[in-house]
Amino acid sequence: MNRLDGKIALLSGAARGIGAETARKMAAAGASVVVGDVLADRARETAKEITDAGGKALALTLDVTTEASWAAAVAAATKQFGKLDILVNNAGIFLGKDLMEATLEDWNRLVAINMTGVWLGTKMCAPALAESGKSSRHGSAIVNLASIAGLVGSQLDPLYSMTKGGVTLFTKSTALSFGRKGWKVRVNSIHPGVIETDMGTQTFASRARQTGSNDFEAARGVAMKQHPIGRLGVAEDIALGIVFLASDDAGFMTGSGMVIDGGLTAQ
Ligand SMILES: NC(=O)c1ccc[n+]([C@@H]2O[C@H](COP(=O)([O-])OP(=O)(O)OC[C@H]3O[C@@H](n4cnc5c(N)ncnc54)[C@H](O)[C@@H]3O)[C@@H](O)[C@H]2O)c1
């Protein structure tokens, strides 16, 4: 189950957090992984950790907001490993500001990474994914990191929510578009609840600041209470879902969203 033997995966924003854990899990499942991030040193450390554990990994500097950076990443991945089977559009940022205090500069940066980055990654990787999909029973796979904030509204960050809502529907539209073209590339999204990564920490700080309390631990407690399962998520919770969606076990899934949120949106 959930094996990725012989598959080549390119992950954006994989130096740390959910992306890094997904790279580790994919390598353990038999994939060769390309760890792309603007944090070049940290990406190298993550890749080294994977190779030290016996996996196959390549680190590269990837800025998802530029076409040239994606072109270089696809070229490096296919040169090193010969093909591309999986793309994980994971890079993303959280703003943590109310819509009334956000600036146009904030918005443009958010859109560039959270939306333009996902579209460019899809566009630039699609030819290689479609090619390798021809010789795979269930095709190639793209997994986009959306959020529960792309399904329901966000009190803390309405602009982040707008970008993730865009990723949710872009995922479905891309699945339809590739299906119409006859390309065997499945496209699905993941919708995490609050996950304890650097970004998770940023959400607690933002909650504290926006409620005027400055009590980080209290803000973390509020976030935890919103999850009926009784805890916050960890990167592994999400990485395992991404591995499943990328694997042939999800062979009949495209245009879908997988919610991994400890019951938060069940309420
Ligand atoms: N942590 C959460 O609570 C949570 C919840 C829902 C969705 N998500 C989503 O999951 C994804 C991963 O989040 P995380 O919690 O691991 O965050 P994180 O901040 O720990 O990691 C994000 C990574 O993206 C990289 N990145 C930022 N800008 C980039 C760019 N221009 N090009 C390439 N890489 C870039 C960062 O350097 C970092 O390594 C994001 O898309 C995020 O929106 C996270």
106-132 pLDDT per residue, tens: 999 999 999 999 999 999 999 999 999
Per-residue pLDDT, averaged over 78-93, amounts to 98
| Ligand 1 lined by 241 (C-beta under 6 Å) | no
* 160 labelled catalytic: yes
3-class DSSP assignment, residue 102: coil
Point out the ligand 1 atom lying closest to the alpha carbon of residue 112. 31
| Ligand 1 lined by 121 (C-beta under 6 Å) | no
| Ligand 1 lined by 264 (C-beta under 6 Å) | no
Q: How open is the CA angle 64-239-59, to the nearest 5 degrees?
A: 45
3-class DSSP assignment, residue 58: strand
pLDDT at residue 1, as a whole number: 86
For the chain, give the mean pLDDT.
Answer: 98
Confidence of residue 46 (pLDDT cuts 50, 70, 90): very high
Ramachandran angles phi, psi of 195, nearest 5°? -115, 135
pTM for the model:
0.99
| Ligand 1 lined by 113 (C-beta under 6 Å) | yes
If we measure between CA atoms, which residue out of 85, 138, 17 comes closest to residue 25?
17
In the set 160, 183, 204, 244, the catalytic residue is 160
pLDDT tens-place string over residues 191-237 = 999 999 999 999 999 999 999 988 999 999 999 999 999 999 999 99
Secondary structure letter of residue 233 according to DSSP: B
- Asked if pLDDT for residue 4 goes beyond 90, the answer is yes
* Helix%, strand%, coil% for the chain, nearest 5: 50, 15, 35
Secondary structure letter of residue 155 according to DSSP: S
Per-residue pLDDT, averaged over 164-186, amounts to 98
Mutate to test the pocket of ligand 1, among 12, 124, 197 (most ligand atoms within 8 A of CB): 197
3-class DSSP assignment, residue 149: helix
